[in-house]
Amino acid sequence: MNGGPAITVEHLNVSFGDSHVVRDLSFTVQEGESYGIVGESGSGKSTVLRVLAGLNRDWSGTVTILGEAQGPRRDKAFHRAVQMVFQDPYGSLHPKKTVDDTLAEPLAIHGIGDREPRIARALKDVGLPMAFRYRYPHQLSGGQRQRVAIARALILEPGILLLDEPTSALDVSIQAEVLNLLQALRSERRLTYILVSHDLAVVGHMCDRLMVMQLGKGVEEMQAATLSARAPVTEYAKELLTASEGFRRS
């Protein structure tokens, strides 16, 4: 971790037809940092993540990742360095592929050898026993599936993980387990995270800094400590905080 920028976004704009879903958004994430993007449904936060991951190719602005200016299409080296964990562990794993198949596939695509030790390490790192290696997704719980999805993202040893609501589809009882796992992995591997969530408590727990988005715009950037102190500056961020606290109390 050298403290330089891992991700720089300048004047990002994304439109779908007549709908302008990301509007002139700029932010920087330092190497080794965990950065949150929060907002209500439809605020544009997941669209930003898809642009960063190379999944959305229709955008304007400047995106620089690990010192390289990024175009709409990304090469294999990019996908080895930057991986995404999706919201839905049910939808992101192929139902007819075993855990072993799922973990071996990225290694085959990137022509990486030493498959056995890499798969063994990936399972160990996410807290799954080797006995799970030949199971299918339907034989796993939601939390176990998300651990497999995290293992798949980590097996290429990326420097950056993009996390799209990684626990929102899971039972509340196991959300904390997965978040704590992600925190431990970030520390051990010195990873850079961008975490998208509608849940301010999750972002406050996981992130160093965060951006609040509303209707495609970044309305306030703050330290996690500001969130913990319940001291945002903008009215919208205050309302979002109040709404999330009210939801948690009910």
pLDDT score recorded for residue 61: 97
pLDDT score recorded for residue 45: 95
The label of the residue with tokens 């990873």 reads 191
pLDDT digits (tens, 9 = 90+) for 203-220: 988 999 999 999 999 999
Nearest to 192 by CA among 159, 164, 224: 159
Mean pLDDT computed over 145-169: 95
pLDDT digits (tens, 9 = 90+) for 47-87: 999 999 999 999 999 999 999 999 999 999 999 999 999 98
Greatest alpha-carbon pair distance for the chain in Å reads 53
pLDDT score recorded for residue 228: 86
Q: Could you list the beta-strand ranges (E) of 122-216.
A: 160-164, 192-197, 209-214
Mean pLDDT computed over 119-148: 95
In the chain the domains, ranked by start, together with CATH numbers, are 5-244 (3.40.50.300)
Could you tell me which residue, 1 or 84, shows the higher pLDDT?
84
pLDDT score recorded for residue 2: 52
pLDDT score recorded for residue 249: 42
pLDDT digits (tens, 9 = 90+) for 77-91: 999 999 999 988 778
Mean pLDDT computed over 161-182: 92
Which DSSP helix (H) or strand (E) runs through 110? Answer: none
pLDDT bucket at 1, cuts 50 / 70 / 90: very low
Question: Measuring CA to CA, how many Å separate 187 from each of 21, 157, 159, 183, 246?
Answer: 33, 14, 12, 6, 32
Rounded to a whole number, what is the distance in angstroms from the first to the last CA of the chain?
41
Which DSSP helix (H) or strand (E) runs through 249? Answer: helix 235-249
Radius of gyration of the chain (CA): 18
